[in-house]
Amino acid sequence: MAEHEFFGDAETRFLQELSRHDVAFMIVGLSAAALQGAPVVTQDVDLWFRELPNPGLEEVLRELHGVYVPPTMATPPMIGGEGIELFDLVTRMDGLESFDDELSRTVPLRLGRFVVRILSLERIIASKREANREKDRLVLRVLEDALATIRAREEGSDEGNDGEKDHPG
Amino acid sequence: MTMKLSHSKIDALCQTQGRNVSQLLDEAGVSRNSYYSLARKEVVVPRSVLKLSAALDVPVSALLDDILPVGERMRRRQRAVESIVADHPDLDRDNVRHTLTLLDEDPLTRIRRALRRGRARILR
C-alpha cells in the first residue's frame, strides 16, 4: 500500500475543514509526537475537542459525508467516513490541565495552507507518565530522547548561523 | 523582501569552525570577486523563488532540495549524533539518530511513516 494512503488529501481536508470552521481541537498522542519528529509508530490520529458532541465537528462531518457516533455505556464517541476513519476522538487526557489550558500551550503546525494545533512533546510525555500503562512506559524513553535531541539541535542552531527551527516545538 | 548573503553570518560560521573567510573561499573554490559581488547584492535568490516562498508562507530553504550527496549527509548526521550524545550520554544513540533523520523530513512525511509502520503491525 502506498505511504500517502495513510494520510492523504482526504485526511488533510478533514483537518482543514475543522480549522476553517474554527472548531477548537488539537492533535494529541503519538501522532502529535510523530509530527514533531519523535521516532514512534501509531495506528491512528487522536483528536481532542473542547466539547463533544460538537456542532462544528458535526457540520464538517455532514459536508464530508461522515458521521458522528455518540458514546454508549460500552463505547467511546466515534467518527467515521471516507478519510475520517484514521481519526479517533479523545475525551480525556491523563495528567494534563483543562482543554483550554493545554490549548494555550500547543504548538502550531502548518499543513499546506492551514495551521492545526498539536500538543507539545513535553505535554505528551507528561500525559504518558501519568497514564503509566505498559504501552506508555514502553514509549516514554523514545519520547524523552526525542525531546532532548530536538532541544540539543535547537541550541546548536541558535549558537550557529540563523537559529531557524526545524519543528514547531 | 530581501535575501542577502550575510557576510557576518559566514564570518561567524568560519570562526566557529576555526578558519577565516579567505580559507573558506579557497576551500570551496569560490573566487573573491564572485563572493564580494554576491555579498553586495540585495537579493541572491531569484525573485520567483521568493514569491513562491511568500505565497506558501515557508522559508526559502523549505523549497530547496538538499544537494548534499547522501554519503555526506549521513556523515554530517552521524557527527551531530556524536555531538549530542557526548553532551547527553544518557540518551540512546539510535533514538537520537532516528529523531535527527525525521527532523530532516516534513511533518506529513513523518506522520505517514509512523502510520504506515503502526498499521503494518495490525496487518501482520
- A12-28 pLDDT tens trace: 999 999 999 999 999 99
In a domain, B80, yes or no: yes
Count of pairs with CB atoms under 8 A, one residue in A, one in B:
108
Are the beta carbons of A149 and B121 separated by less than 8 Å?
no
Segments forming the whole domain that contains residue B109: 70-123
Q: Do B103 and A37 touch (CB under 8 A)?
A: yes
Residue B1 belongs to a domain: no
Identify whether residues B37 and B81 lie together within a single domain: no
Residues B112 and B87 in one domain: yes
Place of cell 526559502: B60
Instruction: Name the architecture of domain A3-159.
Output: 2-Layer Sandwich (3.30)
CA dihedral (A74, A77, A81, A82) in degrees, to 10, reads: -110
Do residue B40 and residue B57 come from a single domain? yes
Assess whether B55 and B87 both reside in one domain.
no
Q: Specify whether B77 is located in the same domain as B47.
A: no
Instruction: Name the domain boundary from B63, B86, B104.
Output: B63
Instruction: Give me the residues of chain B with pLDDT under 70, please.
Output: 1-2, 66-67, 121-124
Q: Which pLDDT value is given to residue B50?
A: 82
Same domain, yes or no, for B11 and B59?
yes
| B20 and B48, same domain (yes or no) | yes
Domain count, chain B: 2
Please check whether residue A78 touches B, CB under 8 A. Answer: no
ipTM of the complex: 0.84
Predicted TM-score (pTM) of the model is: 0.74
Same domain, B50 and B98: no
Q: Which residue of B has its CA nearest to A118?
A: B107
Compute the residue count for chain B. 124
Same domain, B75 and B105: yes
Mean of all residue pLDDT scores within chain A:
88
Q: Could you tell me the strand order of the sheet in which A87-90 lies?
A: A87-90, A45-49, A25-28, A114-118, A107-111
User: In whole angstroms, what separates CA B93 from the centre of its chain?
Assistant: 21
User: Is residue B2, in this structure, part of any structural domain at all?
Assistant: no
Domain closes at, from B20, B44, B63: B63
- Say which of A3, A44, A145 has its CB closest to residue B116: A3
| pLDDT tens digits, one per residue of A80-129 | 998 898 999 998 899 999 999 999 999 998 887 789 999 999 999 999 99
B42-63 pLDDT tens trace? 778 888 888 888 777 777 877 7
Q: Is the distance from CB of A8 to CB of A95 less than 8 angstroms?
A: no
Identify the residue whose cell numbers are 458521521: A67
| Interchain pair B121, A30: CB under 8 A | no
